[in-house]
Structures are given as structure tokens and as C-alpha cells.
Amino acid sequence: MDVSHQTHKNKETFLNRFSVVDPYGCCHTVVAHIAMDGHYYIYPTLNPTIESVRSITIREAARLQSFPDDYFFEGSRSSAFKQIGNAVPVVLAHKIAEELKKMLCDYE
């Protein structure tokens, strides 16, 4: 990891604190404190410049967690990111529920 751009003296930890979301693969885990760690979720821009680099939006984070686009989050921006980061991804929760239903039906 290149540490030449670090402005702090700690050269041993937090070396991966800037990370671009992989547009062709899997995103790293969306966490509840994403509002404070937006630099760990940088939107994948084709030709990034200082002006075009940005963190992902609430809606983009929600999509990563498989929330439908019309899902509404209550509260502030930080609160919305916290709800998204604390959530079990919607598709995963649905698949788990389907399997539990099968198990319970087989049990009867």
C-alpha cells in the first residue's frame, strides 16, 4: 500500500481508508458509520478528478444493500446511512426467510 499521500504519522494502521467501490465485482461491507467513513465508499468514476470524486449517496448505499429504489429512510442523512448499514440486505433476508419457511413446513 502506498503511504506517500498520508498526512498523519501512523504508517501501520488504516492503510485502506480510501477505497473505490468495485464497479464490476463486489462492494466491501456497508457499515452503519458510513456517514463518517464516506472516503471508504468512493463512487467508481471513469476518469476521476478532484472535482468528480465523491462518496456514494444514500440511494447508492441502499442499492448495495438491495433496498428497492422507492424505499424511504426516516431522519437525517447520518440516520439513513445508519439504517442502511445496520440492515440485513433485503435479498439475503428474503432468501433466509424462504429457507426457514421450508424447514418449518418440513418439520410439521
Q: What residue ranges do the domains of the chain occupy?
A: 8-108
Residue 13 near residue 25 (C-beta atoms within 8 A): no
pLDDT of residue 1: 47
Which residues does 36 contact at the CB level (< 8 Å), separation at least 6? 78
pTM of this prediction? 0.71
Residue 21 near residue 37 (C-beta atoms within 8 A): no
pLDDT of residue 15: 57
Q: Does CATH place domain 8-108 in 3.90.120.10?
A: yes
Question: DSSP label at 28?
Answer: P
Task: Write the pLDDT tens digit of every residue in 43-72.
Answer: 888 887 878 888 889 999 999 999 999 999
